Amino acid sequence: MSSNAAPERDSPSVGSEEAPADLSVVTTGQEGTRAGRWRWRTPAALYRLISTPALRAVLGWDLPRWDVRWVPAEPGTCLEVGSGGGFYTGPLTRHLPSSATLLSLERHHGSLTDLRSRLADRPGPTLRQVCGDGTRLPLATGSVDVVFLGYCLEEMPDPYRAVAEAHRVLRPGGRLVVFLWRPAITRRRRDPVLARMHELFDVERERSGPQNIRLCLRRPDLDTVHASPVASAAGTAGRG
């Protein structure tokens, strides 16, 4: 559906008529504004290195061509947040149908330009690159079909807000696919974020391994925040 990933009014012209051609890098003006407060986990120069399949295999992360099967291969707009060295961006261009649009969003401009040169001339979906912040997405509400957060929440000071933003830009029925790498996000940091995901979304698929947590979530058609069993029980008891 919505290939109308229209930007918010004060945002760059991603997907609009003024949008540059494929593989253009759109700068939102957000990069750097909060950079001083960000806690950098992976030096940007290492993103190419950590995108090496052999290294990732050693680290216990799976093969990208298998991993991307978590992402629904549907026409429409797929937003990849934190594309980094492109470990998943290339496989996504092979996985998604050519009628789809892949928006790869990354806060680090250098990674985007590097990726642009490597992915030029490839067939597949329309690829747009956006330099921006996953916690302040420059996209209209309900304009995206799939959001993919692949090992990027770990690096965000406010992953909770990134989940809220993913929920906002997803259309009802759209999917959120999340990969987390346990060593990089402590239980104390991830548990509230996972709890929020379970409140906002329906779980379609979930797999927790020793290193990775993977989720495919569906944004419900109606926005009812699910009550937790504890809260429900408390409410019932109170009424009784």
Ligand X SMILES: C[S@@+](CC[C@H](N)C(=O)[O-])C[C@H]1O[C@@H](n2cnc3c(N)ncnc32)[C@H](O)[C@@H]1O
Binding site for ligand X (CB under 6 A): 42, 47, 50-51, 81-85, 87-88, 105-108, 111, 133-135, 150-152, 155-156
C-alpha 81/C-alpha 147 separation (Å) is 7
Backbone torsions φ then ψ of 178, nearest 5 degrees: -125, 130
C-alpha 90/C-alpha 96 separation (Å) is 10
Residues facing 38 on adjacent strands:
none
Report CA 174 to chain centroid distance, whole Å.
13
Give the residue with the Cβ less far from ligand X, 87 or 201. 87
Q: Which of 84, 80, 160, 71 is nearest to 115 (CA)?
A: 84
Give the residue with the Cβ less far from ligand X, 133 or 145. 133
- Strands 202-208 and 212-218, by their bridges, are antiparallel
Give the residue with the Cβ less far from ligand X, 81 or 200. 81
Shortest distance in whole angstroms from residue 195 CB to ligand X = 20
Give the residue with the Cβ less far from ligand X, 129 or 135. 135
Q: For residues 175 and 146, is the Cβ–Cβ distance under 8 A? A: yes
Give the residue with the Cβ less far from ligand X, 41 or 205. 41
Instruction: State the amino acid at position 42 in one-letter form.
Output: T
Shortest distance in whole angstroms from residue 219 CB to ligand X = 20
> What is the number of H-type helices and E-type strands within the chain?
7, 8
C-alpha 140/C-alpha 168 separation (Å) is 8
Shortest distance in whole angstroms from residue 228 CB to ligand X = 28
Shortest distance in whole angstroms from residue 205 CB to ligand X = 19
Shortest distance in whole angstroms from residue 101 CB to ligand X = 18
